[in-house]
Chain A
């Protein structure tokens, strides 16, 4: 597939990276209002095909852009994100802006407060283009489980953009936003990044506040950034990270200036290759791209170390007990009483309000997971499922602790395959779960990971996953940036000229 190159400032603003745009804004070559308008033009041109956005916020975004332009004119209180247009996954609550979590249940839900990450991005002067599509309550790997229809992969519109943060990956890949936020419970940032040639980072558990993140599995969920290179991810991460008294699981560790640590120098860095991640079942094109990436790292002076993570194959079963168990508890709040959908008028009694509303409000995958969770926690099955899964989680964590005594980062494929066709895995829930085989263990262990563009297989992007120890985001970002300095995969953008050439002026909102 043909790809278009981007290079500031000869290219269109929607093709720039955040740091390129920040330079242009400071040099007064463009205003934030113009930059924001360019993105709404792009959204109008492509989003009826990509379908990344659930809600477009044109009025408030232009007002935020005007405020940013005032700050830029004064030259005071500037951050690298001042005036930068972003998209937000619709699982992050936004004050007075509808937040659906991709569910029918929250179709008309207007949150009364902002998530902490929103407060932080607002004070950094960011501009919010809209809210992004996702699998319902972040359960899925393709964005097909959204109650509002699937998002399409800009690299091939017949394929999925990954999930659950598929709107967040697709909008960055399609030039509809310069960066975005997603959430990652079992791979929901890294896997969609891999499938769309974007950079997606899952921070260490506790690095970013979950206050205002609609909960799926509370011991696994983390919010993180999508962007077109490691430097942009560094800027986004250093803005949203940090201790928050509103989230008792956020950790009070100082936030490094991640962008300043992108030195390009990884000489002597020890890269672990876990044999359990290089096995049959991975597409040959994916394996080849990852092996070539490892060669690049060798040339950059990294040392390759063979390691073993012996409990890898139990990650998926362990996750599919722990995540649904936590989900079944978290989603008990959707009862037709407090907020969201309610069938109280037609229900015959209180119990019927719960049961009818939940039958109507939850899609098939969410129901399946709630039921698996309820089963695993139920009397007589708790020890065999939930308790055992928590023990296996300890073993998986121990695998990583031992591995990081031998290496600084771990390199693996992000996903066993490139983007699959929309509809291909919908009939068999377990085949969908396999898309997260290589990303799930990091959530169970609480460590950080980033997926970076690592090449192409039959025209489709391949992601390379870099895993780091707890709070080692600087290390994986430095390795990601060093790779980008000697490769050009991340500079390729999907060619949507067939879509933009069509004479249609359908307003998307």
Chain B
């Protein structure tokens, strides 16, 4: 299992992480090594085996559709780097 530099850059784009040239090279070898160990899983016969997304005996836990007190906006936005009124401000998405 060898990841190419292009594949590493594709994954980094999916993960929204900027990488230097050296990091692409070292990650290609580190991630390939880890995926090589993970490949052992491919030998398990999983035909007809259901998936476990959770081990809990419960599904679709719902609460009543009623408004409850929540964090005040000033507290919720206290750690926000750039704030405008009651919003987090971002750079323009469209030109």
Contacts and interface: CB of A to CB of B under 8 A. Distances in A.
Contacts of B12: 371
A446 B79 contact: no
A356 B52 contact: no
Given A112-B71, A372-B31, A375-B31, A391 B18 contact: no
Interface stretch (A15-23, A41-49, A339-347, A459-467): A339-347
A318 B46 CA distance: 13
A320 B16 contact: no
B17 A359 contact: yes
Interface stretch (A132-140, A265-273, A309-317): A309-317
A328 interface: yes
Chain B residues touching A, majority SS? loop
A335 B79 CA distance: 13
A84 to B, nearest CB: 30
B41 A374 contact: no
Contact of A378 (B11, B37, B58): B11
A350 B82 contact: no
Interface of A: prevailing SS: helix
A353 B91 CA distance: 8
14 contacts: A251-B58, A314-B41, A335-B16, A339-B79, A368-B34, A370-B17, A371-B15, A371-B27, A374-B11, A375-B35, A388-B41, A392-B49, A430-B33, A430-B37
B16 A392 contact: no
A113 B44 contact: no
B78 interface: yes
A9 interface: no
B18 A358 contact: yes
B40 A317 contact: yes
A340 to B, nearest CB: 7
A183 B80 CA distance: 27
A389 B41 contact: yes
Interface in A257-308: none
Bin the interface of chain A by size: 35 or more
Contacts of A370: 15, 17
A337 B87 CA distance: 10
A320 B90 contact: no
Interface of B: 7-8, 10-12, 14-19, 27, 30-31, 33-35, 37-42, 44, 46, 49-58, 61, 63, 71, 75-76, 78-82, 88, 90-93
Contacts of A339: 79-81
A508 B78 CA distance: 28
A367 to B, nearest CB: 6
Q: Which of A245, A321, A375 has the most CB of B within 10 A?
A: A375
A397 interface: yes
B81 A337 contact: yes
B54 A342 contact: no
Contacts of B18: 352, 355-356, 358-359
A388 B42 contact: yes
A112 B91 contact: no
Contact of A336 (B42, B52, B81): B81
A454 B33 CA distance: 34
B58 A110 contact: no
Contact of B55 (A113, A245, A429, A445): A445
